[in-house]
Amino acid sequence: MSEAISVHPGAGHAVHHDGHGHHHQSFVSKYIFSQDHKTIAKQFLITGIIWAIIGGLFSVLFRLQLGYPEQSFPILETFFGNWAKGGQIQPEFYYALITMHGTVLVFFVLTAGLSGTFANFLIPLQVGARDMASPFLNMLSYWFFFLASVIMLASLFISTGPASGGWTIYPPLSALGQASSGSIRGMDFWLISMAMFIVSSLLGGINYITTILNMRTKGMSMTRLPLTIWALFFTAVLGVLSFPVLLSGAILLLFDRNLGTSFFLSDIVVNGEILPNEGGSAILFQHLFWFLGHPEVYIILLPAMGMVSEILSVNSRKPIFGYMAMLGSLFAITILAFLVWAHHMFVTGLNPFLGSIFVLLTLLIAVPSAIKVFNWLTTLWRGNIRFTPATLFAIGFVSLFISGGLTGIFLGNSTIDIHLHDTMFVVAHFHIVMGVASMFGMFAGIYHWFPKMFGRYLNNTLGYIHFWVTMIGAYLIFWPMHYQGLAGIPRRYLDKRGWVSFNDFPELDKMITIVSIIVFAVQLMFVFNFFYSIFKGRKVRNKNPWGANTLEWTTPLRPGHGNWDGEIPEVHRWAYDYGKDGREFIPQTEEIGENESKH
Amino acid sequence: MATTTVHQTKWWSGGKSPFNMEYGKLMMWYFLMSDAFTFGAFLISYGSIRFSQNFWPDPNVVFNAFPGAGHANLPLAFVSVMTFILIISSVTMVLAVHAGHKGDKQGVMKWMVWTIIGGLAFLGCQAWEWHHLITGEHAVLANGQIEMIGQTMGGNPWGNIVHDNAALTAALNNTSHETLVQLVHSHDHSHTATELAAMTDVQLRGMVDLAEMHIREKGPIAFGGYFFGITGFHGFHVFSGVVINIIMLIMTQKDVFKNRGHYLMIEKAGLYWHFVDLVWVFVFLCFYLI
Amino acid sequence: MEHPAFEEVTVHHEHQDDATFKKKVRKTTILLSVITIIELAIGLIIYTMHKGESPSELLVLMFKGVVCILTLAKAYYIVSIFMHLGDEIRNMIMTIVVPLLLFVWFIIAFIYEGNSYKNLRNTYDKHFKETTTPVKHHKAEAPAAEPKSGKE
C-alpha cells in the first residue's frame, strides 16, 4: 500500500519542463515501461482486447452447451481434455466458464479496458496537460493490472480449474473447497488477482482525479470540461471509494478460506461432517461485495456515457443538449450508485424494511438516467448527423441503454424481483444495459479516437458491418431471454432438459447460440480491423479529422510525450460550440469574439 | 495567510490547483480516503457481525494483561500505553514536518528518529499482545469436556461463564490428563508441572478448584478473526509507515530534500503516519472500549 | 526557505512562527491525552458495571455513545491539527469531508442488517438462541449451562 508515496515528487513536472524535446528513448522505456499516458492507454486497450477475446470465447463455449445440451463436440475434448469429456462440457467446466466470463468482462475488459484506456488517453489530452499528475504511478497502475491479468490467466491452467463460484463469488460456494473444484485453489488465484486489480484501479483512479482537478490548462474551468472528462472523473471517484470495500471483503474471504476464521460461514454440514465455522454471515459478504458491485456497474457505464455524449455532439454538429443537466445527472448517478447496493440481494433474507428503502433509492436512479437519454436524443434531434461507425455505435448505445434501463425498473422493485431473481430476465437486463451498452460505448470511442491514437483510420466498411451485425445480434441474443426469464427459466443451469417446466424453449436457445457465434466472429473481424489498421490503415492527414472542438485535436498528428510541441493552448470556451453563428465548429482554444452570441 | 488573495482567486478556472495543493499531497489525501474505506469496511463488517450475535466477549476481560505483571487483572492498561505511544509518535511527526517547513535538516532527522522509535515500540507492543493472546490458554467447556484453548483465528475462549457446577464436574470426568495438569497448574503453584503430571486423574480432579477457575463456554469465533485481521492490517500499515519513515530519514540524511529545496515528502509521509494514528483511534474504540 | 512553486499552487502556505505552532501542538497533545484518559475511565466504569449483578443496559449504551463521540472529537483534532486539514482552503476541506458522509448510510445499513440477522436466527434457529444467549446469574437452576453436544 505504500506505492502512493514512494514516487519521486515532481515526476509529473519533469515532463512539463523537458517534454518539448523528444529524447531518444530505448524500446523498453518507450513501449514497455512507458510513462507516457498515451502509450499506457494503448497498453490497457490491447490487454483489454485480448481479454475480451478470451471472455467472449468462454461465452460461446457455454452457449454451445445451452443451445445444444444433447450434442457432443469432439473438438472440445481435443482442446479441453477432461473438462469436456466425450465432447460434452462438464458441469465444473461450465461453472468455471460462466464465472470467468463474468469476471473477465466486468473487471478486465469493461473496467480496465474501458476506463483504463480512455481515462488515460483522454484526460491529459482533453484537459490540456502534458501527462498525468504522476506518470510513474500511472505506469505502475498498468503493471499491477498486468500482474492481475497474469494471475487470473494462470488460474485457468491449474489442475482444479479456475474459480467457479460465479463472478459474485458468494460464500460458502467460494469459501469451501468442497463446494466446487474451482474453490479448491482457483478462488485463491481469483482473490489475489483481484487484490492486484484493486491496487491498479486505485493507483489509476487517484491519478485521474488529481489530474482532472489540478492539471487543467488555463481557462479550462470545470464547466468547460468535455462531458467525457466529467464522466471519467465520476468513474474514478466511484472506483476510489468503492473498490477498497471489495478489497476488505476479499481479504476476509481469503482468511475464511485459508486461516479458519468464520466471517462468512456458519452452521455448515458437508457430507455429514460438521464444519467448525460458527457465527458468520454469508449475507455480510454479499453486502461487502455489492457495496463495490453496484458502483462497479456505473464504473463500467459512465465512461461510455461520457464518450457517447461527446461523439453524438461532434457528429450531429450540434452543441450537447443540456450540459448542466448532464453534469447534474452524472453527479446524481454517482451519489445514488453508493446507496443502492442491496437491490441485488432482495431474496437473500435481507431485512424487508431495509429492502424497501433500497427499492426507493434504486428507482430514483431512473430520473437522472432518463434525463441523460432525453438529452442525447435532443442532441441528435434535427442535427446534421454524420453516420460514422462511431456515431452508429453511440446511437446503438442509447438504444441499448433505453431497452436495458427499462427492465431495470422491473428488477428494482423487490416484489417483482422476487419472481424474476436469478432468471434469464436478469441476464438479459444486465447484459443489455451494462455489458453490451458499455461495449458499444467502447467501440464508439475506439472508432472515434483511433485516428488520434495511431495516426490512421479504421476501415469504415468493416466498421459498418461490425456495427449492424453486433447491433442486430445483441437484440436477437438478449431480447428473447426476457421471455425465457418471465417464463421462469433460471440462469446458470447447465442442462435444463431434466425439468419439464424449464425445457420450453430449446429452439430459442439454439437460435441464441447461433447468433452469438456469428456476433463473436464479427468481433474477431473488428480485432483484425484494429490491428491491420494500426499498421496499414488509411493515414490521417488532417489534424482535426472530425472537426471537433476539444483540445486533443490541436496536438500534432502523432503527439510525442508531452502532447503539445509548444505551449499548452489556453481555453476560452466550452467544448460544444457547434453550428454557432453560422460556423460549423469553434475550437475551445478560440477566444470569444466581441459580437458572438451567447450559447 | 494572505486571506484577500485566497478570496479573490478564481480557484476553478484552470491553470491552478482548485485546492491550492500540489498534486502529490492531493494524491496522498485521496489514497488515504480510499484506505479509510478499506478500514471502514473492516470495522463496519465487524460491527455487523457483532450486532448479529447474542453474546460478545467483554474486551475488559480479554485484554487485561500487562507485560511483567503476571496474572494481575489490569483491564485496558496495556492498550492505553499503546495508544499513548502512537499519539506521541504522531506529535513527533508533526514536529518533523514543521522542521521540514523551516528547512531544518537536523530537526527533521531528530524528530523522524523519534517517530520511528515510536512506531517500532508500538509494533513491539502489538507483537507481545498477540503472543499473549495466542499462547495464553484458558479453560473452556466444550463437547462435554474441558479444553484449554488460546485466542486464535479459529477459536475463542471468552464465551459465557458456566455456572452449572454439576455439568462442570461431569465434564471433568471426560477431560484428558494433560488438560487436568494444566488446569491445576494454572491456579496451584505449590507443585511443579512434572509432579502434577505424575499424579492420577482422580487426584488431579480433586485439586481442581471450579469456583476459582471461571470456566467459560467457547465464544464467537469471529471475535478472533476480526481482532487479528484488523489489528494485523493496522499493524501492517504501521510497519509500512515505519519503512517509509526510515526511507525518508535516509533521504534527508543524504540531503535529497535539501537539494530539492523542499521537504514535501516528509509532509506526505507525515499524512500517512497521522492516518495510521487516526485508524488506531477507531480500532481502539471498536475493540477495546465498546 | 519556501519551496519552489509548483505550477498549480497559487498561494504559498505561510507557516506559523515557532512559538504559536509549538503552543498549538502542545495544546492538541494535551487535549488528545485528556480525551483518551476520559475514554479509559468510561471503559473501566463499563467494566465495573458489567461485573455488577444487573447492569442497566441503557446506561451502558449511553456510556458507549459518549465514548464514540469522544473518539470522533479525537479524530477531528488529529485530522484538523496534525494533518493540517484545518489550515487548507475550504474547497480542500470539502473534498475530504463530503465523501466521508457515505459512511453514514454504510454504517446504518450494515448494523441494521446485522441486527436483523440476529433476530431472524433467534426466531428460526432455536439452537442458536439457546446456546448463545447469556443467562442471568442464578446458581441453582442454570438451564443453558448444560454441556453442549455439538450442533444438531
Instruction: Compute the distance between CA of residue A362 and CA of residue A10 in angstroms, rounded to an integer.
Output: 43
The terminus-to-terminus CA distance of chain C in angstroms comes to: 73
pLDDT for position A200: 96
| Contacting partners of chain B (3+ CB pairs under 8 A) | A, C
* Residue C52 confidence (pLDDT) above 80: no
Best mean pLDDT range from A28-32, A170-174, A470-474, C19-23: A470-474
| Any domain includes A344 | yes
Residues of chain B with CATH 1.20.120.80: 22-134+221-289
Of B12, B19, B41, the CB nearest to A244: B41
- φ/ψ of residue B9, rounded to 5: -65, 135
User: Can you state the angle between helices B23-51 and A186-214, rounded to 10 degrees?
Assistant: 140
Nearest to C102 among A241, A349, A351 (CB): A241
Containing structural domain, residue A319:
32-262+282-576
pLDDT tens per residue, range B122-166: 999 999 999 999 988 888 888 888 888 888 888 888 888 888 788
List of residues 6+ apart from A196 with CB closer than 8 A: A144, A145, A147, A148, A151
Q: CA-based diameter of chain C, in Å?
A: 79
Contact criterion met (CB < 8 Å) for B14 and A221: yes
Give dist(CA B75, CA C41) in Å, integer.
Answer: 11
B4, HSE (Cβ side, Cα atoms, 13 Å):
0
Task: Please report which residue ranges of A460-539 form alpha helices under DSSP H.
Answer: 460-486, 506-536
**Which band of pLDDT confidence, cut at 50, 70 and 90, is reported for residue A24?**
low
Say what the pLDDT of residue A387 is: 96
Q: What pLDDT was estimated at residue A28?
A: 82
C-alpha cell at A56: 467472449
3-state per-residue secondary structure call for chain B: CCHHHHHHCCCCCCCCCCCCCCHHHHHHHHHHHHHHHHHHHHHHHHHHHHHCCCCCCCHHHHCCCCCCCCCCCCCCHHHHHHHHHHHHHHHHHHHHHHHHHCCCHHHHHHHHHHHHHHHHHHHHHHHHHHHHHHHCCEEEEECCEEEEECCCCCCCCCCCECCCHHHHHHHHHCCCHHHHHHHHHHHCCCCCHHHHHHCCHHHHHHHCCHHHHCCEECCCHHHHHHHHHHHHHHHHHHHHHHHHHHHHHHHHHCCHHHHHCCCHHHHHHHHHHHHHHHHHHHHHHHHHHC
A274/C106 Cβ within 8 A: no
Q: Determine the Cα–Cα distance for residues A233 and A236; give it in Å rounded to an integer.
A: 5
Residue C137: band (very low, low, confident or very high) from pLDDT cuts 50, 70, 90: low
ipTM of the complex: 0.92
User: DSSP 3-state assignment of A423?
Assistant: strand
CATH code at B22-134+221-289? 1.20.120.80
A189-193, A207-211, A299-303, B174-178: least confident range = B174-178
Q: Please report the pLDDT score of residue C149 as a whole number.
A: 40
Query: By the CB < 8 Å criterion, does A255 face chain B?
Result: yes
How far is the first Cα of chain A from the last one, in angstroms, to the nearest whole number?
47
Distance from C-alpha of A561 to C-alpha of A578, rounded to nearest angstrom: 30
Instruction: Report d(CA A228, CA A236) in Å as an integer.
Output: 12
Residue A145 has pLDDT above 80, yes or no: yes
Quick one: pLDDT at residue B6?
54
Angle subtended at Cα A143 by Cα A137 and Cα A144, rounded to the nearest 5 degrees: 85
Q: Can you say how many angstroms the Cα of residue C33 is from the centroid of all Cα atoms in its chain?
A: 16
A126 CA to centre of own chain: 21
> Which residues of chain B carry a pLDDT beneath 50?
1-3
Per-residue pLDDT at A430: 95
Is A57 part of the contact surface with chain C (CB cutoff 8 Å)?
no
Whether A269 maps to a domain, the answer reads no
Structural domains in chain A (count): 1
Query: Which residues in chain B have Cβ-Cβ distances shorter than 8 Å to A224?
Result: 14
Interface of A with B in 195-254 (CB under 8 A): 202, 205-207, 209-211, 213-222, 224, 240-245, 247-249, 251-252
Residues in chain A, overall count:
599
pLDDT value of residue A21: 43
Q: Which residue has the higher pLDDT, A4 or A190?
A: A190
Q: Which of A574, A560, A584, A418 is nearest to A124 (CA)?
A: A560
Question: Which pLDDT score, from 0 to 100, does residue C3 have?
Answer: 42
Distance, CA of B142 to CA of A420 (rounded, Å): 45
For helices A91-103 and A37-67, what crossing angle results, to 10°? 150
pLDDT at site B139: 85
Residues linked to residue A273 through DSSP beta bridges, in sequence order? A270
Interface membership of A6 toward B (CB under 8 Å): yes
- Distant-in-sequence, close-in-space partners of A110: CB < 8 Å, separation ≥ 6: A300, A434, A435, A438, A439, A442
CATH of the domain at A558: 1.20.210.10
Q: What is the pLDDT of residue B79?
A: 92
Whether a cis peptide bond, with omega within 30° of 0, leads into A172 is yes
Task: Determine, yes or no, domain membership for A125.
Answer: yes
Q: Is A246 inside a domain boundary?
A: yes
A496-513 average pLDDT score: 90
Alpha-carbon distance A86 to A59, whole Å?
A: 20
Per the CB < 8 A criterion, the answer to whether B150 and B137 are in contact is: yes
- Smallest CA-to-CA distance from A458 within A393, A527, A556 is with A527
Averaged pLDDT of chain A: 91
Q: Which of A10-24, A113-127, B54-68, C49-63 has the lowest mean pLDDT?
A: A10-24
How many beta carbons lie within 10 A of that of residue B200, not counting itself? 10
Cβ neighbours for C18, distance < 8 A, ≥ 6 positions apart: none
DSSP state, A553? G
Q: What is the C-alpha separation between C47 and B213, in angstroms, rounded?
A: 19
Using an 8 Å CB-CB cutoff, list chain B residues near C147: 141, 143-144, 167, 170-171
Give the pLDDT of residue A23.
55
Kindly state whether residue A16 falls inside one of the protein's structural domains: no
Average of per-residue pLDDT across C1-24: 72
B231 touches B127 (CB < 8 A): no
